[in-house]
Structure 1
Amino acid sequence: MQTYPTGVAAKATGTPLTTLQRYLQRSHITLQPCDVPSRGCGENRGYSQRRIIQIALTTELARLGIGPSRAAKAAFEFSDKGNTGRPVGELYPLGQTLLVGLPDGKSVVINIPPDKSISDVLSNDSAAFICDCGYVVAKVLSNLSKS
């Protein structure tokens, strides 16, 4: 699996390097088996595409006023957990893929089919925040293709 160095990850996500380092130091973002940890011998840390997308979603949610701990946990629901019809770290093939933070602190990834509205899908659930994963993923993939 391809990984990217810290500078590329920061640039692709629009996350200032100091903020990315803070996310890691405070364990908001934790490296997973698909990432490469720094071994301290001049070997750079490597971020997988999934981790870069988690960082981008975390940064986007933080810009919306969501605390980094909650933002990173919510982003992990998209980047590292799949749903029926949606592989891990990928968008639903049709419609919109939304990351929804619920008032109880939990987060879910939902699909809004082309013929439905968000109110049809959320039914009686109220949302604390909603983030369009498609927009964030497209921005990250575009930036990574330029690196």
Structure 2
Amino acid sequence: MMLDEPTTLLTDASTVAGPEAGAVRTWIARRSLMLTTSDQLPTGRGGRTVFTLRTVLAIALMHELTKFGVSPNKAGRTASDFFHFGRFYGSPQKWMQPGELFPTGTTWLVAFPSAKDDEVNSPDDRGVRTFLEQVVTADDYRKLFEGNNLHEQGVSRIVINLSLLDSQVRQKLTDIRASRRGDGAHAA
């Protein structure tokens, strides 16, 4: 499945990503969910909303964060940071495309409450700091929960396995499409 090809209806996106379709519509109306230029909003009454896989994955991440009480605006910013902006990682520095998972191991999103002294531009900016972590070894996994040189020890955190989230969303979309074709082999 291509990340930026509009293939998923709003109702299917809601089914595979978790939130109610009405919540997704609200996130769009309030600009909490950043859409791609390929996403298709209805042009008239009764029109269909069609999302790219990138947006469906962002909806799934937003849903996971909001289940922990993160506001939709902050969850949307976090999803946008991962799915719309690339980043450098590792030593030596390598480039990771927007929405790309680490090539080895698993990719985890670690979210922390912002520190009181974090620079903020508005009260809405305070709340969540996030990091991506690559887990290859058991020691890497342990560091997710105990802290390491990037994160303070003893701080509450939300830890989301983005590799698992990605594979679950893709599999659910495959199952929905297979069931519509009448191919019961993939339907769950």
Which of 66, 70, 86 matches 1:62?
A: 66
Residue range with higher mean Cα deviation, 82-91 or 69-78: 82-91
Cα displacement (A) at 1:115: 6.1
> TM-score w.r.t. structure 1 length?
0.84
Which digits, 9 at most, give the CA deviation of each residue in 1:19-58, with x for residues without a partner? 2122222221132213122212643121110000000001
- Cα distance in 2 for residues equivalent to 1:29 and 1:58: 8
Which of 89, 95, 99 matches 2:109?
A: 99
Counterpart of 1:59 in 2: which secondary structure?
helix
Which of 68, 72, 88 matches 2:98?
A: 88
Residue range with higher mean Cα deviation, 50-59 or 17-26: 17-26
For 1:12-31, what aligned pairs fall within 5 Å after superposition? Answer: 12-31=16-35
Instruction: For structure 1, list consecutive stretches of 5 or more residues without a partner in the other structure.
Output: none
Percent of aligned pairs with the same amino acid = 21
Which residue pairs with 1:133 in the alignment? 162
Cα displacement (A) at 1:116: 4.1
CA contact (8 A) 1:77 1:108 kept: no
CA contact (8 A) 1:36 1:45 kept: yes
1:73 matches 2:83: no
Question: Greater relative contact order (Cα 8 A, min sep 6): structure 1 or 2?
Answer: 1
Counterpart of 2:86 in 1: which secondary structure?
coil
1:123 matches 2:152: no
**Aligned letter for 2:97?**
P
- Cα distance in 1 for residues equivalent to 2:29 and 2:164: 27
- Cα distance in 2 for residues equivalent to 1:112 and 1:34: 32
**Aligned letter for 1:91?**
L
Number of equivalent positions:
147
**Aligned letter for 1:44?**
R
Flag the structure with larger Rg.
2
Structure 1 residues 109 and 77, CA, compared in 2 at 3 Å: closer, same or farther? farther
